[in-house]
Amino acid sequence: MTYGDYLQLKTLLAAQKPLTKKHDEHLFIIIHHVQELWLNLMAHELNAAIDFIERDQLPPAFKSMARMTRILEQMISAWNVLSTMTPSDYLEFRNELGQSSGFQSFQYRMVEFRLGAKDPKMLLPHRHDTENYERLKAALEAPSLYDVALMLLKRRGFAIPDDIVNRDFSVRHVFSDAVRDAWLKVYRNSKENFEVYELAEELVDLEDWFQQWRFRHMKTVERIIGFKRGTGGSSGVAFLKSALDHSFFPELWAVRTEL
């Protein structure tokens, strides 16, 4: 067993197949490969965190969640590298991308679903791949990270309404005054509820970093293509900006105002 054998480096490095001889296409492919590798690890850690919370094992869930924030830090840095590519550099090979788009990333959609950004329409770009479609559909219909956190709160005696934890999980969670008040109780008695308080802060930290990654993505795209439509027909920057308006864990942000 050699280093290259263990990491399957020949397979990994053979995956960079530029369609042109333009210098910056190599950069473009590698950055997106890097992002997909990190997304793969994000999904792995998300699944672990959800499993641990469902089993009331919060310390190992905290480890997975902390790791996800460090992953997002690396993903943000990747956009900084891509931003060294100028609009002129990108236009030299952009037409060769055809209808391919980051909007079609199976792993990104999996991470969003597991975080709670549920939208059945987002299954549509994956209809051509039966295996990935079924995996996404299962994630869409399963409780998200926030859902299992609220279930844990209820198990620990906090007043989470039944219709919050027994609902159609394929629909995005909607802000609830009762959920906000439950988190408010956690924060106002943080010493007595320290483990759940730490869970709340891990969730906020995770969303904070995820939104920073989204923002850096949006600004990198704006820097390179302005407000042109994205490849694949997406609205480009406009779509990326709209995602910044949606919170995974809205009550945790509202608590800040109430304290």
Quote the CA–CA distance of 31 and 184 in Å, as a whole number. 41
- Is 160 labelled a binding residue? no
Quote the CA–CA distance of 81 and 224 in Å, as a whole number. 12
- Is 90 labelled a binding residue? yes
Alpha-carbon torsion (126, 41, 219, 247), positive or negative: positive
Quote the CA–CA distance of 58 and 162 in Å, as a whole number. 22
CB < 8 Å & 24+ apart, contacts of 201-205: 202/61, 202/62, 202/65, 202/66, 203/65, 203/145, 203/146, 203/149, 203/248, 203/249, 203/252, 204/249, 204/252, 204/253, 205/65, 205/66, 205/69
Quote the CA–CA distance of 33 and 102 in Å, as a whole number. 11
Contacts of 18 (CB under 8 A, 6+ apart): 25, 26, 29, 93
- Is 29 labelled a binding residue? yes
- Is 224 labelled a binding residue? no
- Is 173 labelled a binding residue? no
- Is 44 labelled a binding residue? no
- Is 30 labelled a binding residue? yes
Quote the CA–CA distance of 199 and 196 in Å, as a whole number. 5
On whether the CB atoms of residues 169 and 143 are closer than 8 A, the answer is: yes
Binding residues for substrate: 28-32, 90, 94, 231
Binding residues: 28-32, 90, 94, 217, 231
Binding residues for heme: 217
